[in-house]
Amino acid sequence: MNPVKQITVGFVDVKFGANVTVIEPTNLYGCEIGDETFIGPFVEIQKGATIGKRCRIQSHSFICDLVTIGDDCFISHGAMFINDLFVTGGPAGKPQLWRPTKLGNRVSIGTNATILPVTICDQVVIGAGAVVTKDITVSGIYAGNPARLLRRL
């Protein structure tokens, strides 16, 4: 009979700012969370990720290694960040093949959006279900798959 491996959900090596609120269950490890940020339930934030000040990360979101989120950002329910583009035809066996993602300040990511390794400038809204495949350098509202500019802000 094979032994069952127990996985613990919680906080490991997390650097918390002041007045952070976390609703459990969550899985936070090796990450940094800025002042006055809210983390909802069923969120995973992996090592190497950095969340800015006054952000709101809603339930069921996944923020992987190499993701940096600026201040005053909103990440809606079920948003997914990706750092592996499967350039070898499958999952990268080496973290050296992963790519970073950087969100500016005042960025809102809609429900079930997927964010590939990109840079997103300040003051951007990403619509629900959008797939961001390229850098966003103009403030505005983006939606679709792939995400496209609908209107400048």
> With 70 as the cut, is the pLDDT of residue 150 above it?
yes
Cα 62 to Cα 136: distance, rounded to the nearest angstrom = 20
Q: Please answer whether residues 134 and 149 qualify as being in contact, where contact means their C-beta atoms are separated by less than 8 angstroms.
A: no
134 vs 123: CA distance, rounded Å: 16
Whether 53 is in a domain gets the answer yes
pLDDT tens digits, 38-75: 999 999 999 999 999 999 999 999 999 999 999 999 99
Domains contained in the chain, number = 1
Residue 146 belongs to some domain of the structure: yes
> pTM value?
0.92
Q: Is residue 70 part of a domain?
A: yes
Average pLDDT, the chain: 94
Q: Quick check: is 4 in a domain? A: no
CATH of the domain at 56: 2.160.10.10
Q: Can you give the residue range of the structural domain that contains 116?
A: 12-152
Q: 80: how many CB neighbours lie within 10 A of its CB?
A: 17
